[in-house]
A and B are shown apart, each in its own frame.
Chain A
Amino acid sequence: MSTSQASNLSPQSTPGRSITLRVNGESRSVECHDRQLLVEVVRDQLALKGTHVGCMNGDCGACTLELDGQIVKSCLMLAASADGGEVNTVESLGSPDELAPVQEAFWNNDGFQCGFCLPGHLFAARNLIESNDAPSDDEIREAIAGNLCRCTGYQSIVCSIRDAAASARAESPRASV
C-alpha cells in the first residue's frame, strides 16, 4: 500500500499550480488543480488522512483543520487560496504516545465512538479553551455546534471539554484580578 495518492490529478484536466504550505510544522510544496479543495489536497497529495470528509458541504465539520491560526472547514476552501498558509491538521495535536490534554480528556470521557467527527470537535474544543478556560455547558455546546456527531449525543463531548478546560486551568492558572 503506498502512502500517498493523487486521486484528482490527471495530466489533461483542469489548470493547476504549485502551492507551498507549512503543514504541521514542515514546509511542503504540492501540485494541485485550481479546482481542488483544501481537504482534497491535504488527504490526497499530503496523505494526511486524519482530516475526514463527511458531507463536502460545510455542514458536518469532520474536515476541520487550522489555517493560519483559524479553524476552518477544509471542504469549503480551495487549496490554491491557502497558498503560503500555515496548516495544522488533527495529526498535529498529539501523537498516540503523547496525546494533547484535550485528546486525553476526550478519551477519558468516551467523547467519541466511531471517531469520524473528531477533527471538528477537537479543534473546536481547543479553540474554545484558548479563549475561555472556564466555559459553561451552553458555551461548550455553542462552540461545537458547527460539528455533527451521530454516535455520542454530544453529552460525553461536553464532559470531555469541561475536563480539558479544567486541565488547562490547572496548567496555567489565571492571575487573579
Chain B
Amino acid sequence: MTETITPRFVATDDPRPESVRPELEQIRRKDGDLMLTGRGGYLDDTVLPGMLHAAILRSPYAHARIRGIDTSAAEAASGVRFVLTGAQAKDQTSPIPHYFDPALVGGRTADFRPLAVDEVIYAGEPVAAVVGVTLNDAEAAVALIEVDWEPLPFVIDAEKALEQGAPKVFDTWEDNAMIRLPFVEGNAGPIIDSAKHTLEGELRIQRYQTAPLETRGYIASWGTDGRLTLHASAQNPHPLRSHLSKTLGMPENQIRVIAPRVGGGFGHKFHGYPEEPLVALLSRAVGAPVKWLETRAECMLVGAREFIHRFKVAYDEDGKILALRDRIIADIGALGASGGWGMAFIAGMALPGPYRVKHYDVESTAVVTHKAPWNGARSYGKESAALAYERIMDLVAAELSLDPAEIRRRNFIPPEEFPYWTSMKHLDSGEYAAALDHVLKLGGYDQLREEQAQARSQNRLVGVGVGFELTPEGGDFSGTLLRGFDTSTVRMDPTGTVTVLTGVTSPGTGNETGIAQVVAAELGVSPHDVTVVQGDTDRCPYGYGNFSSRSMTVGGAAALLAARDVRATLVTAAGVLLETTPEQVRLAHGRASVVYEPDRNLSIEELTRAVFVRTLAVHGLDQAQLESTRTYAPSNVHNVPDELGRSSPYPSFPYSAHVSTVEVDRETGLVKLQNYAGVHDCGTIINPKMVEGQFLGAITMGIGGALWEELKYAPDGRLATKSFKHYLMPRANDLPWIKVGHEVTPSPFAMLGMKGVGESGVAGAIASLANAVNDALRPLGAVIDQMPLSAPNVLAAIRRAERS
C-alpha cells in the first residue's frame, strides 16, 4: 500500500490573494527521456580529443616508509607518456584544503597531498601515477614501478589505536585521538549514579559505504589560455573549484569545474580526494586531457560509519528516560581531506534524537587508524546516533515490559514544546507521535504482534522492530564551504522559455524537476518550458551543491524568490498591456489573464516578447529585467551562540517512523525481512512521487547496511572487500513490499515549509531492523549488538546465548 497526498504550495509568507496564487503542475522526472535511451551523459561518457588515461599505484601496506621509487621501467614502457611521484607532486601543490577541517572545532589536523611523500599511512594510498595512451598501457606500467618499502607497525582497530604505545598514524600528534567532542546538558552523571533504574549497553557498527553504481572520475584539460577545466563526478562543484585553486595555487576564476550527470552521490562524491588535483597535474604535464576513473575496488576503499557506542541510561518506572550517557568511538581511518570524519561530530550531536531527555552527557571521539579515510555517507552519522537511541528505547521497554511503541510515546518531545532546544539543535516542529501511530497502523502493528505470538508458540524466531529517526538537515557550517544557503538565477527569454541556473546539484535525486515545478508555477508556464542548469561553475551562481538534503529547500527556495522577481516584472507589464492593475493579473497555463475576466488575456510568449521589444516604447512599460538572482537562507540557523551559549547548525528536522518484521533461522543465523512500513514527515511536499522515491531508496540503503554491507579489513591491514561479490547490497528479491505513508508538518522557519528529503529513512531502517532481530532473538535470551545483522554475527549471538 502506498498513500499519496496532494501537495500544497502555499508559502506562509506569500502576500498574494488566493486567486492569483500559483498551481503546481506535476510532471515526470526531467531528462527521463534522455536517461531511458542511453543519452544520460555521465562522466565516463565524456570524450575529449587526444584524451589520455591515468592509473594509480597504491600502497600495498597499511603503514610503510618509502625508501625509494624507481619509475624508469614504467617510463620506458610502451604507450606511457608520463609518470608522477609524490615528491614531484608535492613541489607543484599546496596541501589539499579539508572539506571540513577538524582544526575548526579544536581537533588535530594534518596535511594531505595528491600522492604520498616518504610515508604511506593506509593500504590503497596513492603513491605514483602513470599517464598512458590507453588505460591498459597505464595499468601495465603501474606494475613496473619499483618501490623500496620499509613496512612499519600499523593499527586498524580504533580501541587499540587509543592504547598507550599504539603505532601512530601521524608522527606529530601525541596520540591517535583526533578530537573528543562533548555534547552535554544538565547533570547526567549524578542522576545516573543515584538512579533506581539504570541500564547499560554497547553497540558496534561496521565500516561500510554508499557504493553508488557510478564510481568517481575526473577529466582534466588545460586550454591554451592556461585555464583548467575539470570534468568531475562531484556533488559540490563550486567548493571543489575553490579547493583546487588553493591546491594548485592558481586564480579560482581560471578554473572551470563541470559536473555532468552523476550516477548516484550519497556523499561518496564529496570532494577532498587526492585524485582531483592529481589529474590536473598529470594533464598539465602531458599537455593533453587526462582521465581517471575509479575502479570498483578503489571505490570500496572509501570508508564510513564505523562506530562503537557505550551507553548508560537512567529511567523511571514509567519508562521516561531521566539521563543518558554515551561514549562514542569513531574509527575514521587515516583522516584525509575528504568530507567523512564529520560524521563523528554528527553521531554525537544527533543524540538524544526526538526524545525529551534533559540530562545527557555524550562524547564522540574520532580516532585515526591505518585504514583508508572516510567520505560522507547518506545519513552522515545520524544513523549511528539513531541506532543508539532506538536500541536504548527498546532495552528500557523490555526491562519494564512496556510496548516499544508506548515507551517512545512517553518520551517524545510533545508538539506544543516546539521550537525546542536540545544538543546543538533548535528543533523546528514535529508531530512525532502522529508519525509513529501512522506507521503502526500502516504496518498493521497489532496484527504483527499477534502473528509473532503465534510464531513464537511454534518455536519460530519472529521479531517486530520499531524505529524512529530524527534527521537534522540543511546543515550550515560557518568557516567551511558547507553552507546552509544557496543561490539561483531565473532568466526568461523573448520567446517565453525559462532557464534556471542554480548552485545546488542533483546526483540523481531529482531536485531539478522540483525546481522547474515551483518556478513554472510562479511564471505561469509549464515545467517542460523550464530548463534547469546545474553543476557548471562557469554558468551557475556560486553554490554549495548537494549535501544534507538541502537542494530543494534552499536552491529551490532561491529559485522561487528569483521567479517572484521575474513574475513582478511580468505582471506589471501584463497590467499595462491588459489595462488592469498588476494585482489583477493571473499567470497560469501559459497565459496572463485578468482575474475575474479571463477572456482578457495574452500568452506568456507575447508578454515576454513585449517586455523585450516594446519596453520604453509603450507608456508604463518601463521594466525590462526578466532575470533575477537570489540567495536564500533558512532562518533557523544559529551560528552565533545565544545568551545561554546555544547554537545550532541545522535549520530543519524531518523525521520518520518505521516498523518491520523479520524471521531468524536459528540454525544459520540468516535474517529474512518479511514486512516493512515507513512513514516520514519532510514538511511540505513538492513532488510526491519523487519524495517517495527518496524515502524508499533511503530505507533500502538502511536495510542493506543493517543486514549485509560491510568493508572488512584483513589482519594484514588491507581491505578484503573488493567487489559486489563481497559487498552485499540489497537486490529486488531480498525485499518485501515496503508500505509508505506521509505526514506533513511544515517548518515554520523555511520557505514553503520544506524540511528536506533524501537522507531520512536510512537511520530509521537500521534501527527498526536491529530492534526486530533482537526482538526475534529474545526467546533465546540472545542479544546482538554487533552490526551488521548478518548470518555469522546473528549466529554468533545465538551461540553465545546457548553457552551461557
Q: Roughly how many angstroms separate A119 CA and B213 CA in the complex, as a whole number?
A: 12
Q: Are B264 and A10 in contact (CB under 8 A)?
A: no
Closest partner residue, chain B, to A102 (CB atom)? B36
B32, B78, B264, B737: the one within 8 Å of A150 (CB)? B264
Cβ of A74 under 8 Å from chain B: no
B509 touching A103, Cβ below 8 Å: no
Q: How far is the CB of A43 from chain B (nearest CB, A)?
A: 8
A90, CB-defined interface residue at 8 Å: yes
**Complex contact B36–A10 (CB within 8 A):** no
Question: 1/0 contact trace for A102-132 toward B, CB 8 Å?
Answer: 0100111010111111110010000000000
Task: For the complex, give the distance between the alpha carbons of A110 and B51 in Å.
Answer: 35
Tell whether A137 pairs with B737 under 8 Å between CB atoms, given A94-B36, A150-B264, A156-B696.
yes
The segment from A53-61, A79-87, A165-173 found at the interface with B is: A53-61
Contact in complex: B697, A110 (CB < 8 Å): no
Main secondary structure of the interface of B (DSSP, over half): loop
CB-nearest residue of chain A relative to B47? A5
Question: Least Cβ distance of A138 to chain B in Å?
Answer: 8
- Within the assembled complex, what's the spacing in Å between the Cα atoms of A7 and B45? 12
Flag whether B34 is at the interface (Cβ < 8 A).
yes
Q: Which of B37, B42, B266, B698 is close to A93, meaning CB atoms less than 8 Å apart?
A: B37
A154 to B53, CA, bound (A): 35
- Given A10-B134, A56-B296, also A50-B37 (CB < 8 A): yes
Q: Which residue of chain A has the shortest Cβ distance to B723 in the bound complex?
A: A57
Interface of chain A, main secondary structure: loop
Partner of A157, one of B132, B699, B732: B732
**How far, in whole Å, are A93 and B214 apart by their CA atoms in the complex?**
22
- The size class of the interface chain A forms with chain B is 35 or more
Among B44, B47, B508, B724, the residue within 8 A (CB) of A57 is: B724
Taking a contact as CB atoms under 8 Å apart, the answer to whether B134 and A153 are in contact is no
Q: Which of B264, B295, B738 has the most CB of A within 10 A?
A: B264
Q: Compute how far the CA of A7 lies from the CA of B46 in the bound complex, rounded to whole angstroms.
A: 12
Given A8-B134, A10-B79, A156-B696: A149 and B37 interface contact (C-beta under 8 Å): no
B701 touches A150 (CB 8 A): yes
With A59-B725, A89-B38, A118-B35 in contact, do A150 and B732 touch (Cβ < 8 Å)?
no
Q: In the bound complex, do residue B213 and residue A13 qualify as a contact, i.e. CB atoms below 8 Å apart?
A: no
A155 near B733 with CB under 8 A, answer no
Interface residues of B in 705-729 (CB under 8 A from A): 723-725, 729
> Are B689 and A152 in touch, CB under 8 angstroms?
no
**Closest Cβ of chain B: how far from A104's Cβ, in Å?**
9
Q: Please, which residues of chain A bring their CB within 8 A of the CB of B509? A: 113
Residues of B within 8 A of A106 (CB): 32, 36
Q: Does chain B have a CB within 8 A of A72?
A: no
User: A176 at interface (Cβ–Cβ under 8 A)?
Assistant: no
Given known contacts A116-B264, A153-B697, A145 and B136 CB-to-CB distance under 8 angstroms: no
Judge if B39 is at the interface, Cβ distance under 8 Å: yes
Q: What are some 20 contacts across the A-B interface (CB < 8 A)?
A: A10-B79, A13-B78, A50-B40, A59-B723, A95-B37, A96-B37, A96-B39, A103-B37, A112-B35, A113-B29, A114-B263, A116-B40, A141-B733, A141-B735, A142-B733, A148-B731, A149-B213, A150-B213, A152-B697, A153-B693
